[in-house]
Amino acid sequence: MHPTPSVVLHDVTFSWPDGGTPVAGVSGAFSRGRTGLVGDNGSGKSTLLALVAGRLVPSSGTISVSGTVDHLPQRLTLATGTTVAELLGVRAAVDAVRAIADGDVRPELFDAVGDAWDVEERAVAALGAAGLPASDGVLDRPVGTLSGGEAMLVAVTGVRLRGADVALLDEPTNNLDRGARERLHELVRTWRGTLVVVSHDRELLELVDETAELRDGSLTTYGGTYSEHERWVAVQQEAARQALRDAEQVLRRERRQRIEAEERIAHSQRQGRKDVANRRYVKAVVHDRRNSAEKSQAARRGQAAGKEAAARAAVEAAGRALRDDDRIVVDLPDPEVPAGRRLAELRGADGRQIVVAGPQRVALTGPNGAGKTTLLERLLAGPSDAGRLLTDRVGYLPQRLDVLDDGDSVLDAVRAGAPHVPPGELRARLARFLVRGDQVDRPVATLSGGERFRVALARLLLADPPAQLLVLDEPTNNLDLASADRLVEALAAYRGALLVVSHDRAFLDRLGITMELHLGRGTGVAVLG
């Protein structure tokens, strides 16, 4: 639909100082228009966007970009000390306009403003159009005072406001409620220029012009939406399975024919030995017959072995075309929570106590900005008007994933939750979360969003002793679809209690929620069911 490439990658490789190589020999292009970039967690999608944006420098290979680039990273919500104006990218211009209004006439201030004398008004108007609070002073609010969904919408609005030629969005629908997702979808639907978006949001991926998949170091672009890509992959995989069956059948035939050839050769050799023993022929004739037979046998052996080797190579080639993707394996230990054991109390809108007991599944829902994350943090901090915990064995997965210290290694970060588990056993358990080999010793700061999430999840779920109450704030963020399935299966079998914040209705339905608590803006918690 948009054949002109805006981004061209040629044999691009990137390695971290510790030797980890998330991107290896990638070649491909992103065309003008909207592209959905998909791939399993850890396949290098976030690293690839950072390379295109110039935030990282390739170890080898080249990247060509037509025009300016704007990049919205997956982990922007960790920067809680920045302001709304900084997320929008208008901080310098806003400060310059304000300083000039106060009488400061330094030339550099006028350079910072340029023609954008109405920058503050336009920024506030853009926030309002995106459904965000547009009150006085909103540009100076710290990001930490916004919900995760509000922060993401502010950041996407900033990318749209700045109008770069190439925009790169990494998981922009994380933490967004239904209304916010619809507003973001509309932004994407009407996007002008080149947009590359990494997402696991199926609805968003239906709005793109083409789908690119990063897999095993190869970037392949397909025309059409994600569902069209899935159908194409399904057809290709069925063809690959048939090719594998055919190749295996040929291999069995060639193996059988080689064995039959060996049996004929063995029979011929036995007959030759009998002829010598019986002195049936003169010695010269025997030698001639033996030499001729050996040459013929060697030729037959070589021909049969060659055909079998070729058939085996065909099987291996057909097998490589089949997808055999690794998925996280979550096997939760039994926290030994008696049924009905009270683990937490929340305060309802009418002042009554709402009890969370084992093995209940409780969902906390509500729009962005209603205070769901704040309520969880107050509950975990100690008794308050939000409620109180009745067990000290609580595992918490925060939305911002800021429980991990960037300076720690992955192993040290996970050991903090299980200090008595031997390192070797922890390494084995981390492998079930697809964190293996040298990855275990990498600094947390070098992890992609999906890798960081899996490490935070591993730290939570591998805790020793196991948590009796799991408090999860948007747990499906950053997980590929198949890994989210494995998480649902594990949580559904978990015998402790769950308190889950999520905007993913399908995820909540699959968990078997026993009680839903709705938090409206300024209305407190209300029991829905």
CA 173 and chain centroid, separation: 13
Judging by beta carbons within 10 Å of its beta carbon (0-12, 13-18, 19+), is residue 515 exposed, middle or buried?
middle
Model pLDDT, residue 305: 74
Cα gap 155→180, rounded to integer Å: 13
Same domain as 293, residue 237: yes
Q: Are 502 and 508 in contact (CB under 8 A)?
A: yes
CATH number for the domain that contains residue 151: 3.40.50.300
Tell me if 124 is assigned to some domain.
no
Q: Are residues 288 and 241 in the same domain?
A: yes
> What is the arrangement of strands in the sheet containing 353-357, beginning at the earlier edge strand?
353-357, 342-347, 387-389
Same domain, 249 and 371: no
Please tell me the predicted confidence (pLDDT) of residue 435.
81
Last residue of a domain, which of 193, 224, 255?
Answer: 224
Quote the number of domains for the chain.
3
Query: Is residue 60 situated within a structural domain?
Result: yes
Model pTM score: 0.63
Q: Which of 171, 172, 170, 205 minimizes the C-alpha distance to 189? A: 205
Q: 3-class secondary structure for 242-296?
A: HHHHHHHHHHHHHHHHHHHHHHHHHHHHHHHHHHHHCCCCCHHHHHHHHHHHHHH
Could you give the CA distance from residue 47 to residue 42 in angstroms, rounded to a whole number? 9
Cβ-contact 314, 489 below 8 angstroms:
no
Q: Are residues 380 and 244 in the same domain?
A: no
Helix (H, G, I), strand (E, B) or coil at 463: coil
CA distances from 62 to 15, 53, 169, 213, 307 (A): 14, 13, 21, 19, 42
**pLDDT tens digit string along 277-288?**
665 555 555 565
Q: Rounded to an integer, what distance in angstroms lies between the CA atom of residue 410 and that of residue 459?
A: 9
Q: What is the CA radius of gyration of the chain?
A: 31
| The token pair that represents 348 in the structure block | 């309802």
Answer whether 13's CB lies under 8 Å from 41's CB: no
Q: Is residue 254 packed enough to be buried (19+ CB in 10 Å), middle (13-18) or exposed (0-12)?
A: buried
Q: Are residues 169 and 280 in the same domain?
A: no
Query: Whole domain around residue 148: which residue ranges?
Result: 5-82+142-224
Residues of the chain short of pLDDT 70, as ranges, are 1-3, 76-79, 269, 271-298, 300, 320-328, 449, 478, 481, 521-529
Residues in the chain: 529
Q: Which amino acid is at 135?
A: S
Task: Please say whether the beta carbons of 215 and 39 come within 8 A.
Answer: yes
Examine the domain organization and report whether 367 and 396 are in the same domain.
Answer: yes
Say whether both 66 and 150 belong to one domain. Answer: yes
Instruction: Return the H-helix or E-strand segment holding 148.
Output: helix 148-162
In a domain, 252, yes or no: yes
Distance of alpha carbon 117 from alpha carbon 112, whole angstroms: 10
In a domain, 433, yes or no: no
Q: Is 61 left (phi over 0), alpha (psi -120 to 50) or beta?
A: left
| Residue 43 identity (one-letter amino acid) | S
Task: Give the alpha-carbon dihedral of 398, 401, 406, 411, to 10 degrees.
Answer: 80
Say how far apart CA 460 and CA 330 lie, in whole Å.
11
- Residues whose CB is less than 8 angstroms from the CB of residue 272 and which lie 6 or more positions away in sequence, other chains included: 286, 289, 290, 293
In one-letter notation, the amino acid at residue 330 is: V
Sequence-ordered alpha helix ranges (H) in 385-442: 410-415, 423-431
Report which DSSP code applies to 369.
Answer: T
Helix, strand or coil, per DSSP, at residue 83: strand
How many whole angstroms separate alpha carbon 170 and alpha carbon 45? 9
DSSP 8-state assignment for residue 521: T
The answer to whether 163 touches 143, Cβ cutoff 8 Å, is: no
Sole residue written with tokens 């009905």: 340
Do 242 and 282 share a domain, yes or no?
yes
pLDDT for 168 = 96
Strand partners for 395: 470
Q: Are strands 166-170 and 69-72 parallel, antiparallel or unpaired?
A: parallel
Any domain includes 101? no
Are residues 242 and 193 both part of a single domain? no
Cβ-in-10-Å burial (0-12, 13-18, 19+) of 137 comes to: exposed
Instruction: Please say whether the beta carbons of 330 and 487 come within 8 A.
Output: yes
- Whether 520 maps to a domain, the answer reads yes
Tell me, yes or no, whether 256 and 154 share the same domain: no
Q: Helix (H, G, I), strand (E, B), or coil: what is residue 153?
A: helix
Identify the domain boundary among 186, 204, 224: 224
Q: Pick the last residue of a domain from 292, 321, 350.
A: 321
- The answer to whether the beta carbons of residues 217 and 24 sit under 8 Å apart is yes
Residues 148 and 195 in one domain: yes
The pair of three-digit structure tokens given for residue 506, joined into one six-digit string: 């399908």
**Token pair listed for 491:** 């949580």
Which residues, including other chains, have CB under 8 Å from residue 152's CB and lie 6 or more apart?
76, 77, 172, 173, 174, 175, 176, 180, 184
Same domain for 257 and 199?
Answer: no
Residue 1: per-residue pLDDT: 46
Assigned domain for 115 exists: no
* Contact (CB, 8 A) for 478 and 174: yes
